[in-house]
Amino acid sequence: MSNPVHIARNDPARLVLEGLHCVKHASRFGARLGGLWSDRPQEVLALARRLAPDLVPLLEAHLEVVSEAVFAGFCPRPPETRLLTVAEKPDYRLADIGRGPVVLLDRPRHPGNLGAVIRVAAAADAAAVCCLDGVDPWSAASLRGAAGLHFALPVLSLSELADFDRPLVALDDAGEPLGTAGLSRDAVFAFGSERDGLSDELRGRAARTVAIPMRPGVSSLNLATAAAVLLYALARGTGQAGPAPT
C-alpha cells in the first residue's frame, strides 16, 4: 500500500499525530482527521474506553488495522499507544486571537519544551501561543509535547514582533514580583529562550517587567513551568488588580 503518513510528513498543509492523547485532543478540538491506523487495535480501543470514551465511536468507525511491518513503515519510532492519524494543519492568524493572555516565546530552542508550553496554555485557557523565530512549533516533537493541543488555541510562528494592540509584559528576573504586579489578563507575556533569555528589543518594548519569585540560589525555571506559574497566577487573580477570588 502507499504510505499516506510519509506523504503527510512532507506536506506543509498536513500533520502527523502520534498516540492516543494527540488524537484525542485533536478530535475534541475540531481537527480535520484523514485516516486512523494501528497495528494493535484492541489495545488502542481498550485504552480509549478507559481514558477517552468520547473517542471510541470515531475509532470503531474509522480505525484501519495494519500489520506491524506496515505500521513501522508509517512510524519508525512508534508511540507507546500505537495509533496514528493525519490532520489538516490549522491556518491560524493574528486575527484569530481572542481575549485573554497571549504567551510569546522569544526564540525557543527546545521543541519538547515548546510543546509543553502549548499544553499548559491550552489547559489555562490562554488566548494564543506565539513563537518569535526559534524552532518550529509544528514539528513532530512539539506536537508530541503538546499532546495534540495545538488545535485548542491559535499557535503562530512569527518572523518579527507583531503589533498585538495590547500591553507587552516581559518575564525577567529583574522585574517586580509577580504577586503584586496588577497585570491585565489580556496582555502579551514574553518569555525568553531557555539559554539566552529575552532579547534586548523585547525588553525595551515591554510596558512592564515582572519576575516569578524563587528561592535564593535557584537560577531559573523550565520554560513550561514558568508559563504555568504565570498563567495560573492570572487565572487565580494574584496577577490582577484587586483581591484574588475565594
pLDDT score for 103: 98
Query: How far is residue 209 CA from its own chain's centroid?
Result: 24
Q: Are residues 184 and 144 in the same domain?
A: yes
- CATH code for the domain of 80: 3.30.1330.30
* pLDDT tens per residue, range 46-86: 999 999 999 999 999 999 999 999 999 898 888 889 999 99
Q: How many CA atoms lie within 13 A of 23 on its CB side?
A: 30
Q: Are residues 158 and 199 in the same domain?
A: yes
**How buried is 142 (Cβ within 10 angstroms: 0-12 exposed, 13-18 middle, 19+ buried)?**
buried
Q: Are 38 and 44 in contact (CB under 8 A)?
A: yes
**Considering the chain, what is the average pLDDT of its residues?**
90
The last residue of a domain, from among 41, 64, 88: 88
* pLDDT tens per residue, range 100-121: 999 999 999 999 999 999 999 9
Evaluate if pTM is beyond 0.85: yes
Pairing outcome for strands 33-38 and 63-65: parallel
Cα 202 from Cα 204, distance rounded (Å): 5
Q: The domain containing residue 181 runs over which residues?
A: 94-236
Cα 66 from Cα 132, distance rounded (Å): 40
Domain assignment present for 242: no
For 187, the grid coordinates are: 496582555
